[in-house]
Homo-oligomer: A and B are copies of this chain.
Amino acid sequence: MSSHDAIALLRTQSLTNLVHEELEQRIATGQLLPGAPLREAAIATDMGISRGPVREAFRMLEERGLVMFEKNCGVRVRQLDLQQATQIYQVRIPLEGLIGELVTRTLTSEAGEQVRQVLDQMAEKVAHQDVPAYTELNFRFHDLLARFTGNAALYDTYRRLVVQLKLFRSYTFRHDPETIGISLQEHNAIFEAITSPDTSLAGELLRRHAEDSLTRLCAASGSA
């Protein structure tokens, strides 16, 4: 890292932010599972810092709905039951519709190209039946769409919900080698829609896409 980068880092980053990002990453990737306790002292000494910044990061994670404080008992990664996951999906569905409408209007050619690249990679993962990699790209696809709406409030709101969904135990098992093929087709249709002049089509597709995800989630959860 150049000294210029180091200066920029020190100017913008605090230990609290670093801890926050690290822990959110661990939660999102499943390194930290729902229900797992987070001990301040252990994390602080692991990272070679004091407990203050760790506690501040905990508060940020709490507000994001990723951990829960139990006074004098510590912090745990939040657990979501099926009902809570369903309720989050209920909120997500109309937001997907809005994302579709807005992104269809605002998408630039460079942004569209970026989405297409993700889509190409998804097709490759389907061909190789690589479900974990496909799942990650799937997440990136929808994240890009939300970001390219240019509406920061929408992106924040959307991202909040999506990250919280990862706290539902069955969420990781949404896809298998069979369903990713169907999923890819849906994503292709969505891409066509957002690059078309029809402003309502993509919204409709994305809404239905989210509804289908919810259905699959309930099915997988019911049988588990």
Chain A interface residues toward B at CB < 8 A: 11-14, 16, 52, 55-57, 59-60, 62-65, 69, 71, 84, 87-88, 90-91, 94-95, 97-98, 102, 151-154, 156-157, 160-161, 164
Residues of B within 8 A of A59 (CB): 16, 56-57, 59-60, 63
Known A-B contacts A60-B60, A64-B63, A71-B14; the reply to A87 vs B55 at CB < 8 A is no
Q: Shortest distance in angstroms between A109's beta carbon and chain B's nearest beta carbon?
A: 23
Q: Is the CB of A95 within 8 A of B90?
A: no
Q: Could you name 12 residue pairs across A and B whose Cβ atoms are closer than 8 Å?
A: A11-B71, A12-B71, A16-B59, A59-B60, A84-B152, A84-B153, A90-B154, A91-B98, A91-B151, A91-B153, A94-B97, A157-B161
Residues of B within 8 A of A14 (CB): 69, 71
- The chain B residue with its CB closest to the CB of A102 is B90
Residues of B within 8 A of A55 (CB): 52, 56
Q: Is the CB of A87 within 8 A of B153?
A: yes
Q: Shortest distance in angstroms between A158's beta carbon and chain B's nearest beta carbon?
A: 9
Residues of B within 8 A of A16 (CB): 59
- The chain B residue with its CB closest to the CB of A72 is B11
Please report the C-alpha to C-alpha distance between residue A91 and residue B95 in the assembled complex, in whole angstroms: 7
Please report the C-alpha to C-alpha distance between residue A221 and residue B14 in the assembled complex, in whole angstroms: 36
- The chain B residue with its CB closest to the CB of A98 is B94
Q: Shortest distance in angstroms between A183's beta carbon and chain B's nearest beta carbon?
A: 24
Q: Shortest distance in angstroms between A199's beta carbon and chain B's nearest beta carbon?
A: 14
